Structure 1
Amino acid sequence: MKHLSTILFALFFTSAGFSAQEKERCRYTKTPTGYLMVLRQDDDVISQIELLARTEHIPSASFTGIGFAREVEFGFYDFKAKKFNPKTFRKVEMGSLTGSIAWNNQGPSIHIHGIATDDRFNAYGGHILSLHVGTGSMEIYVQVNDQKLERKIEQPLNANVLQLNCNP
């Protein structure tokens, strides 16, 4: 009987399109100052932070992190062309991640920078355009602020700039 229930349990999760491990995976937990995220192999870091902000109604936050990356795409902003020039690195360790959560008309707006190192201890860094977790995990500590912050596109640079409300 116990064997039959195990088979039915496995069939349920397989037919639902999820393995039992994926269904049970917890990606974040509440802390006294915000949240701790532990992301796993192939997780899209930016999408997971956006999902956390939406789900938990985070008004704004700062975050830091470390961990392994399957790939990270950095962008260096070309002020004349008003766009990022991308460069991708694979199988690196994120020695440092730092960023912020704010909002724009489309939803959460994530601004993230980082430093990645390869197996020869070369370091690369800058503005992160995309980031996926590699073998192992990535830990992200989110410190929530009580004031809702927004980002707006400002000219002449066409840059997405954090807006401050300095009125008392």
Structure 2
Amino acid sequence: MICKKLGSNWVIRIDKGEEIVSNIKEICEKNNIKAGFISAIGAADKVKIGLFNTNTKVYHSETLSGDFEITNLTGNVSRKDGEVYIHLHITVSDEEYKAYGGHLNEAWISGTCEMLLTEVDGEIGRQFDDNSGLNIFELK
């Protein structure tokens, strides 16, 4: 992984064999990024995605293996209990052009991942919401 800061933007390249979520977290920890928004494309060969059932408040996940294009990866950076909190959603397509998507737990790069992280001044916190069962933005 390599990154370069341009103004309030971080241009990030995650290389073959590296995992996306852990690399974003490392960049945010090392550079004290407390809030931001992420957009990326690339290629992966192992992707763990999930879905939160809002009725049962149970989270389900599945790992996909094979050749995938990352057609969209978007999300945000915030803080929960002072720690970096990465929230990402991903859409990938396979060799038959079928798309799969959901909450991104982890993804391993098979080619490259080209990402833009736009850092926002200040801090966005998160808090657990009993009603939804989710860690939601804390906006006070």
TM-score (norm 1): 0.78
Q: Which residue of 1 aligns with 2:92?
A: 116
Q: Which residue of 1 aligns with 2:77?
A: 101
Q: Which residue of 1 aligns with 2:30?
A: 55
What letter corresponds to residue 112 of structure 1 in structure 2? L
113, 117, 126: which one pairs with 1:151?
126
CA separation in 1, counterparts of 2:37 and 2:87?
A: 9
Deviation at 1:147?
1.7
Report how many aligned residue pairs link the two structures.
139
Residues 23-43 of structure 1, C-alpha deviation per residue, up to 9 Å, x if partnerless?
xxx511111222011001121
What letter corresponds to residue 30 of structure 1 in structure 2? K
Runs ≥4 in structure 1, deviation > 2 angstroms? none
Check the 8 A contact 1:70/1:133 in 2, yes or no. Answer: yes
Higher helix share: 1
Structure 1 vs Structure 2: percent identity of aligned residues? 22
**1:65-84 maps to which residues of 2 (within 5 A)?**
65-84=40-59
Gaps of 5+ in 1: 1-25
Please provide the CA RMSD for this pair: 1.3
Gaps of 5+ in 2: none
Deviation at 1:65?
0.1
Deviation at 1:95?
0.5
The higher-RCO structure (CA 8 Å, 6+ apart) is 2
Q: Which residue of 2 aligns with 1:29?
A: 4
TM-score (norm 2): 0.92
Higher strand share: 2
